[in-house]
């Protein structure tokens, strides 16, 4: 009995995966538990395990191809087994089929030229056979299932034919829809199809509205012309600005896609507001030095911030919350995500129960996550389930910044650098150590005063780290 390996959901936000590497080829023997491929998801590169053993009968997807969830990747079974009924959607079959009909089309063309009329017709009808399968199957559907079993089979293969196209990146659209799209200048790849197999039909194109009209500068143009006319009198710059480097298009990775999608969704749907608070870091620095004298792992300022936030979150449940449409969920656990920058983007591994963990544990966990993130070894369970997020750019000398809320959190804390600043103490200007943090809050969940209370708690904890021990 042949089984299909399809694209599994390897993370909670994953919509498609890219086969980074196949460890198998057609004809290979595979045992249950073997790692058959490496799949690049939106977050990490993960191993794809075979659940069943067998011989690899068919591989549908090339390395580097992005595949939606649930799409067939490969078929395992017994050697020589007939898998034609499982093969629907196979890219190979699709490719060769298309080629064949192309060849035939050529033949037909020359036939029609030399013989014209009648004999041309005959050749046409010859070619018609190919498409007849499709038509027949559709017809069986249309005219009741009164056909024999053979017709039923044809239906399947007909469907498979239709299904193959999107693997080649082809947009399925009715000829009429294509024509209308061309006339209106609509990019069909942006239109979603409501017909069978996602076929774009007339109604879809007619209802389609471009999100932003591309050509708005019509009003600006005259002004620009005017400006350039004025400039004509000015002396020419000595450097003409010949381009030093060609433009480069980098394919958007799964991770970038996810970052783009999730953060755009967050910024566009949750109303952000920002509150910044400046805190005195003198004591925190002393405590950190003292701790690091005795600790076997080095405690960072970020670890202190994580701990302070975790403790504060326990006291301010409305910050440790999520907007759920009908309800606001106040999370029982305090799970603090820490944004980790890597070359391809960023990841947010989660320190679970951070309020219950000591600084040492927090520090070890954070370091471990950072290393895993850079090696793309983070697993879904590492980044799922956060209730609050901290993003720290202090090490880059950033004084303060605003972060976009990491859904489904209701808030994110942006941590700036510790600065040497003159401060007034007892009427005297003295050297001080200050750090600014900015809380971005989802106004649907959190109001200004609540955010301010939370920030004050965090500030007090950081300014008197010993209170975290309470």
Partner 1 sequence: MSQKQFREVIREAIGEEMERDENVFIMGEEVAEYNGAYKATQGLLDRFGSKRVIDTPISELGFSGLGVGAAMNGLRPIVEFMTFNFAVVGIDQIINNAAKIRHMSGGQVKIPIVFRGPNGSAGQLGATHSVAYESLYAHFPGLITIHPSEPYDAKGLLKAAIRNDNPVIFLESEQMYGMKQEVPDEEYVLPIGQAEVKREGSDVTVVADGKMYHVAKQAADQLAKDGVEVELIDPRTIKPYDIETVIKSVKKTNRCVVVNESHPFAGVAGEVGFLIQREAFDYLDAPVQRVTIPDVPSPFSKKLFDAWLPGPKQVIDAVNTVTYRN
Interface contacts to partner 1, rule CB under 8 A: 118, 124-125, 128, 131-132, 134-136, 138-139, 141-144, 146-148, 150-151, 174-179, 194-196, 201-203
Nearer to partner 1, 108 or 355 (CB): 108
For helices 359-374 and 301-315, angle between their N-to-C axes, nearest 10 degrees: 110
Residue 353 annotated to the active site:
no
Tell which residue, 59, 49, 56, has the closest CA to residue 77: 56
First to last CA, the chain: 62
Q: Is residue 194 helix, strand or coil?
A: coil
> What minimum distance in Å lies between the beta carbon of 141 and partner 1?
6
Question: Do the Cβ atoms of 133 and 154 come closer than 8 Å?
Answer: yes
Torsion of CA 281, 283, 285, 290, to 10 degrees: -170
* Residues counted in the chain: 470
> What minimum distance in Å lies between the beta carbon of 140 and partner 1?
8
> What minimum distance in Å lies between the beta carbon of 144 and partner 1?
5
> What minimum distance in Å lies between the beta carbon of 188 and partner 1?
14
- Give the DSSP H or E segment for 162: helix 149-164
Neighbours of 467 (CB within 10 A): 13
Nearer to partner 1, 89 or 158 (CB): 158
> What minimum distance in Å lies between the beta carbon of 162 and partner 1?
9
Nearer to partner 1, 40 or 159 (CB): 159
- Give the DSSP H or E segment for 170: none
Strand partners, 17: 67
> What minimum distance in Å lies between the beta carbon of 177 and partner 1?
7
Strand partners, 424: 429
Question: Do the Cβ atoms of 73 and 59 come closer than 8 Å?
Answer: yes
Read off the tokens for 3.
Answer: 């089984």
Nearer to partner 1, 142 or 237 (CB): 142
Rounded distance, CA 303 to CA 390, Å?
10
Question: Do the Cβ atoms of 2 and 77 come closer than 8 Å?
Answer: yes
Question: Do the Cβ atoms of 49 and 33 come closer than 8 Å?
Answer: yes
Nearer to partner 1, 175 or 397 (CB): 175
Question: Do the Cβ atoms of 458 and 312 come closer than 8 Å?
Answer: yes
Write the CB contacts of 176 (distance below 8 Å, at least 6 apart in sequence): 201, 202
Report helix, strand and coil shares of the chain as percent, to nearest 5: 40, 20, 35
Nearer to partner 1, 166 or 463 (CB): 166
> What minimum distance in Å lies between the beta carbon of 207 and partner 1?
13
Nearer to partner 1, 120 or 358 (CB): 120
What Cα–Cα distance (Å) separates residue 342 from each residue in 265, 347, 348, 437? Answer: 22, 8, 11, 22
Residue 443 annotated to the active site:
yes
> What minimum distance in Å lies between the beta carbon of 109 and partner 1?
13
Counting Cα atoms < 13 Å in the Cβ hemisphere of 454 gives: 31
Rounded distance, CA 336 to CA 388, Å?
5
> What minimum distance in Å lies between the beta carbon of 117 and partner 1?
11
Rounded distance, CA 61 to CA 34, Å?
18
Nearer to partner 1, 131 or 168 (CB): 131
The pairing of beta strand 16-22 with beta strand 35-40: antiparallel
Nearer to partner 1, 176 or 223 (CB): 176
Strand partners, 49: 35
**Active-site option among 109, 128, 187, 447:** 447
Question: Where in the sequence numbering do the catalytic residues fall?
Answer: 443, 447
């Amino acid at each position: 009995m042949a089984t299909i390996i399809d694209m599994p959901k390897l993370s909670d936000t994953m919509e498609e995966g890219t086969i980074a590497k196949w460890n198998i080829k057609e004809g290979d023997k595979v045992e249950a538990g073997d790692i058959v491929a490496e799949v690049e998801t939106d977050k990490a590169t993960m191993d794809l395990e075979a659940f069943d053993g067998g011989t690899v009968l068919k591989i549908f997807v090339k390395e580097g191809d992005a595949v939606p969830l649930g799409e067939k990747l490969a078929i395992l079974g017994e050697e020589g087994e007939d898998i034609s009924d499982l093969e629907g959607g196979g890219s190979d079959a699709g490719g060769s089929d298309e080629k064949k009909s192309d060849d035939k089309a050529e033949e037909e063309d020359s036939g029609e030229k030399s013989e014209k009329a009648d004999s041309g017709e005959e050749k046409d009808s010859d070619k018609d056979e190919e498409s007849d399968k499709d038509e027949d199957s559709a017809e069986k559907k249309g005219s009741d299932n009164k056909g024999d079993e053979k017709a039923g089979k044809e239906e399947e293969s007909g469907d498979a034919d239709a299904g193959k196209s999107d693997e080649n990146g082809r947009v399925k659209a009715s000829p009429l829809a294509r024509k209308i799209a061309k006339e209106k200048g609509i990019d069909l790849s942006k239109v979603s199809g409501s017909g069978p197999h996602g076929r774009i039909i007339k109604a879809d194109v007619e209802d389609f509205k471009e999100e932003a009209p591309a050509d708005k500068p019509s009003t600006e143009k005259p002004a620009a012309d005017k400006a350039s006319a004025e400039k004509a009198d000015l002396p020419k710059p000595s450097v003409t600005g010949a381009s030093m480097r060609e433009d480069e298009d980098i394919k958007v990775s799964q991770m970038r896609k996810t970052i783009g999608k999730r953060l755009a969704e967050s910024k566009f749907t949750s109303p952000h507001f920002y509150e910044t608070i400046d805190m005195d870091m003198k004591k925190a620095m002393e405590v950190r030095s003292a701790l690091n004298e005795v600790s076997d792992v080095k405690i960072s300022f970020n670890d202190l911030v994580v701990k302070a936030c975790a403790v504060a979150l326990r006291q301010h449940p409305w910050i440790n919350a999520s907007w759920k449409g009908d309800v606001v969920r106040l999370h029982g656990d305090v799970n603090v995500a820490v944004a980790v920058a890597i070359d391809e983007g960023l990841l947010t591994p989660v320190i679970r129960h951070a309020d219950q963990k000591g600084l040492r544990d927090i520090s070890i966990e954070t370091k471990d996550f950072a290393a895993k993130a850079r090696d793309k070894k983070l697993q879904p369970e590492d980044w799922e389930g956060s209730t609050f997020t901290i993003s720290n750019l202090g090490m880059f000398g950033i004084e303060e910044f605003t972060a976009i809320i990491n859904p489904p959190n209701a808030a994110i804390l942006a941590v700036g650098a510790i600065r040497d600043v003159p401060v007034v103490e007892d009427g005297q200007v003295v050297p001080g150590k200050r750090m600014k943090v900015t809380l971005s809050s989802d106004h649907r969940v959190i109001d200004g005063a609540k955010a301010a209370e939370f920030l004050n708690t965090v500030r007090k904890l950081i300014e008197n780290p010993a209170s975290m021990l309470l």
